[in-house]
Structure 1
Amino acid sequence: MSSQTPSSTKETSYISALGLDVGNKRVGIAGCDRTGLIASGITTLHRTSFERDVEQLKQIIQERDIEILVVGLPYSMDGSLGFQARHVQKFTKRIAAILKLPVEYVDERLTSYQAEQMLIAQKISPSRNKGLIDRFAAALILQQWLDTRRQKKSLK
């Protein structure tokens, strides 16, 4: 017994999410098409200061009318949260509070490896294109979230 309201219709047919692969030196950034089907890399933010990081993210969020941040969480191979995962959570909580956006985390294990393999397949040197790896990893993180979200909705 659910009634369709305009906001729930928007939720099912449209999502504007930003995928982030947060690192100490760079943040890979990905977005999705308006239907929420396909994620693609947007840019790589080269971190200089927290304030500058926030300003650059604000600009992208305003341009793309972002509703949610999807952040890769680097679990250890045994599934635990290590130092880097806690660092990512701390950064993300600060960013989300300032930007007033909800956050969802995605297990990002092996996304950087997958991104490197994608570059190698395209005959692009991973060692010379770290920013591109971060951007591809962010797209993989966001795509995983979009696919999971779509699967959950199809089960309802």
Structure 2
Amino acid sequence: MPEGSVLGFDFGERRIGVALGETLIGIAHPHATIDTVVNDERFAAIARLITDWQPVALVVGLPTHADGTPHEMTRLATRFGNRLKSRYGLPVYMVDERHTSQVAESMLGEAGVRGRKQKPVLDQVAAQAILQSFFDGLGTPL
């Protein structure tokens, strides 16, 4: 993969958490939360992020049941990944996101962010965990 920025997404029907990282150092950081159910607004926000950061790839968390079997959100996240790929012409990787919300809650708790204070940043910290998993070698191309 070429050196450059990578955007990671924790897809949800209401919110999409976004993380940012660089291939050179392989460290992910929470970046933003896209909080809208209107697809045109979601993709406009993503287009702005792509324009601003010029990523070399996109990473999407793939939700499954604890045993790895797919469910409805698996289909929706895959559809989201396919839309990203066709709209922006960038490589898209899917990363198993099982337990990323628990990891995000734990990370925030360790940082002293608890309870209701977690909600505004939880999705972007989950996206950070997804993107970090990609950097750690756990992504598969879409």
Q: TM-score, normalised by structure 2?
A: 0.89
Deviation at residue 37 of structure 1 after TM alignment: 1.7
Q: Which runs of 5+ in 2 are unaligned?
A: none
Q: Which runs of 5+ in 1 are unaligned?
A: 1-9, 150-156
Contact 1:126 1:133 in 2 (8 A): no
Work out the CA distance in 2 between the residues paired with 1:102 and 1:49.
24
Letter in 1 for 2:27: I
Letter in 1 for 2:22: D
The list of structure 1 runs, each at least 4 consecutive aligned residues, that deviate by more than 6 angstroms after superposition, is none
1:75 aligns with 2:67: no
Residues 79-135 of structure 1: CA distance to partner in whole angstroms, max 9, x if unpaired?
A: 111111111111221232112222110000000111011112222124343231111
Deviation at residue 34 of structure 1 after TM alignment: 5.6
Quick one: structure 1 residues 35 and 52, their matched pair in 2 at CA, closer, same or farther if it must change by over 3 Å? same
Partner of residue 96, structure 2: 107
Number of equivalent positions: 138
Q: Give the 3-state SS of the residue equivalent to 2:137 in structure 1.
A: helix
Q: Give the 3-state SS of the residue equivalent to 1:135 in structure 2.
A: helix
Partner of residue 55, structure 1: 44
Partner of residue 27, structure 2: 38
Work out the CA distance in 1 between the residues paired with 2:96 and 2:33.
20
Q: Give the 3-state SS of the residue equivalent to 1:95 in structure 2.
A: helix
Q: Give the 3-state SS of the residue equivalent to 1:20 in structure 2.
A: strand
Q: Percent identity?
A: 32
1:26 aligns with 2:15: yes
Work out the CA distance in 2 between the residues paired with 1:131 and 1:73.
21
Work out the CA distance in 2 between the residues paired with 1:101 and 1:17.
10
Work out the CA distance in 1 between the residues paired with 2:126 and 2:80.
18
Work out the CA distance in 2 between the residues paired with 1:36 and 1:51.
33
Work out the CA distance in 2 between the residues paired with 1:42 and 1:30.
5
Deviation at residue 36 of structure 1 after TM alignment: 4.0
* Largest Rg, 1 or 2: 1
Partner of residue 147, structure 1: 136
Contact 2:62 2:97 in 1 (8 A): yes
Partner of residue 118, structure 1: 107
